[in-house]
Amino acid sequence: MKKIYLLLTIAAVLSLSSCNLDINDNPNYPSSSDVTPDLVFPAAENAVAAAVGDAMFNYGGFFAQYFEQRPEANQYNDLAELNLDESSNLFDRCYRTLYAGALADIKDVMDRTENTSDLFACTVLRAYAFQILVDNLDQVPYTEALQGSANTNPVWDMGEDVYKGVLAEMDAAEAALAGDPMTLTDPLLNKDVNKWRGFANALRLRMYLRLIDGGINAGEYQSKAVALVNADNFFAGDVTWDVYSNADGQYNPWYDVARALGTKNHVASYPIVSYYQATNDPRIGYAIMTTEANGEYVGQLPGSKTKMGSWAGDWKNKDVSAIDYTPAVFAPIYLFTQSELQFLIAETQLRWGNKAAAKAAYEAGVAADFASRGMSMGSFLSGGRVNWDAQASDANRLNMIYMQKWAALFYRDHMEAWSEVRRTDVPSTCAKSAKEIYDDATVYSAGQMIVPAVNNIMAGGLCKRVPYPSTARQLNKNTPAEKLLSDRVFWDAK
């Protein structure tokens, strides 16, 4: 009943919002004095979650090579084959949802309150929204955004500057906390300022590591990351938007889209299936189904849907493992998992701190993901490929942390999985083509990324960013020149 109430409240707030989705407008919605900031804030949370848990979850699943397009369906051929440009409108809905929805709502709340705890929560949510915008586009409107008619063509700031800007905003908002309790309706963290502090610290750690690996003031951010981990003031559990139910109009949004299409489009990709198999990982059965043909787990080679008929002589839905939509029916949207947090802590400790603490955090990260799925870890960590003590070097341990993070983010947070693959270059990319792997599986190391068999990126390789939204191109003359999918965001320096 609580979930239904929350959904109805959010729907009511959104229905009072302006239907003008131009991000250069500041509708200052909802304008009714009856709709107070405490009711606007959950609409902002919902908008952020909707972007992460629907479109980003879907295309992130393809780019992180969890998903492939089912052989006898066609909905996501362009994602599988990286046939995307600005005309594809891949990011338009997310862009409008975040700017005209979440960020406009956050600004509206911040303009109407002096409560320091409310302002802090708004600032943290704002930082999260800008972080995922940068991770998709690199440059985004920031310093001049959300000014409405006062500035209809805001400049696009460099991603590095946006990261630094929102980190400074969070620091200032936390320093200003005066002990007043939150007044905002807050389904995300239940009006708990300490949880918002923990969430803020996790965001800081995530961004610090990206700044470090992007070569941006690496020494400064390394010191900050180590201090943050040593202070150990993070959130418990997962940060989730948990308002969905198993009923019409209340489903998880990604599941609802899949359901509305009326056909299964997603099958498991070869890399994730091969890695789960190589590590004897029971999580393979969480959202991946065995094939109808032989009851085994079979992943489809990336971008190979239109090639498999000629390679295999016959390739049908029955021959490949479908993604099981059941776990997503009313699943929460994960904004930050405890598992990811522990893996970030493990990485920080291994690179610059205490190796014993790194081991503990690594094992906690694996355990947290199993727990979130309601699965027993059993003796999983005794396997040689995932056992901390069995690794020959710290470089191998770091690679293992990254690989297990990728394994754990499947069916949890695909946007972060894709970002972390780009930051760390783990899983590594196989030097052999999809066809060569099909012909001889021994040339492939389980879990490696695979350049799609049909790949429309002009420079080849994997997807490194999404195109600028056509909405932005049409409405803002300062939108930067068009980018290729192979153009990297600022922190993807490798």
Mean pLDDT of the 344-359 span:
97
Is residue 286 in a domain?
A: no
**Which pLDDT value is given to residue 7?**
52
Residue 458 has pLDDT above 50, yes or no: yes
Examine residue 38 and state whether it is found in any structural domain, yes or no: yes
Q: How many CA atoms lie within 13 A of 283 on its CB side?
A: 27
Q: What is the pLDDT of residue 33?
A: 59
| In a domain? residue 264 | no
- Stretch 370-383: mean pLDDT: 97
Q: What is the pLDDT of residues 84-96, one digit of tens each?
A: 999 999 999 999 9
pLDDT of residue 31: 47
Structural domain count, the chain: 1
Residue 18's pLDDT band (cuts 50, 70, 90): very low
> Max alpha carbon distance in the chain (Å)?
69
Mean pLDDT across the stretch 426-435? Answer: 97
Q: What is the model's pLDDT at position 494?
A: 73
Query: What is the pTM (predicted TM-score) of this model?
Result: 0.94
Any domain includes 296:
no
Domain of residue 418, CATH code: 1.25.40.390
pLDDT at 3: 56
Residue 437: half-sphere exposure toward Cβ, Cα within 13 Å:
26
Of 35, 15, 71, 126, give the one whose Cα is nearest residue 303.
71
The share of the chain scoring above pLDDT 70, in percent, equals: 93
* pLDDT reading at 9 higher than 70: no
**257 in a domain, yes or no?**
no
pLDDT confidence bin for 15, thresholds 50/70/90: very low
Residue 386 belongs to some domain of the structure: yes
Mean pLDDT of 18-44: 62
Residue 165 C-beta-side C-alpha neighbours within 13 Å: 16
What integer is the mean pLDDT of 485-493?
96
What is the tens place of the pLDDT at every residue in 130-170? 999 999 999 999 999 998 889 989 999 999 999 999 999 99
Where residue 301 falls (left for φ over 0; alpha for ψ -120 to 50; beta otherwise) is beta
Q: pLDDT digit string (tens) for 307-337?
A: 999 999 899 999 999 999 999 999 999 999 9
| pLDDT at 278 exceeding the cut of 50 | yes
448 part of a folded domain: no
Amino acid, single-letter form, for residue 221:
Y
Q: Under 8 Å CB-to-CB from 348, ≥6 apart: which residues?
A: 205, 209, 225, 226, 228, 229
Cα gap 323→68, rounded to integer Å: 9
In a domain, 191, yes or no: yes
pLDDT, averaged across the chain? 93
**Section 2-6 average pLDDT:** 49
pLDDT score of 1 more than 80:
no
Confidence band of 6 (pLDDT split at 50, 70, 90)? low
**Amino acid, res. 37:** P
Q: 5 pLDDT exceeds 50?
A: no
**pLDDT value, residue 8:** 43
Distance of CA 345 to the CA centre of its chain: 18
Q: What does the H/E/C string look like for the chain? A: CHHHHHHHHHHHHHHCCCCCCCCCCCCCCCCCCCCCHHHHHHHHHHHHHHHHHHHHHHHHHHHCCCEEECCCCCCCHHHHCCCCCHHHCCCHHHHHHHHHHHHHHHHHHHHCCCCHHHHHHHHHHHHHHHHHHHHHHCCEECCCCCCHHHCCCCCEECHHHHHHHHHHHHHHHHHCCCCCCCCCCCCCCCCCHHHHHHHHHHHHHHHHHHHHHCCCCHHHHHHHHHHHHHHCCCCCCCEEECCCCCCCCCCCHHHHHHHHHCCCCEEEEHHHHHHHHHCCCCCHHHHECCCCCCCCCCCECCCCCCCHHHHHCCCCHHHCCEECCHHHCCCCEEEECHHHHHHHHHHHHHHHCCHHHHHHHHHHHHHHHHHHCCCCCCCHHHCCCCCHHHCCCHHHHHHHHHHHHHHHHCCCCHHHHHHHHHHHCCCCECCCCHHHHHHCHHHCCCCCECCCCCCCCCCCCCCCCCCCCHHHHHHCCCCCCCCCCCCCCCCCCC
CA dist 459 and 116 (Å) reads 48
Expressed as residue numbers, the domain containing 61 is 2-247+330-430+460-475
What pLDDT is recorded for position 148? 86
Q: Residue 22's pLDDT band (boundaries 50, 70, 90)?
A: very low
Residue type, 442: T
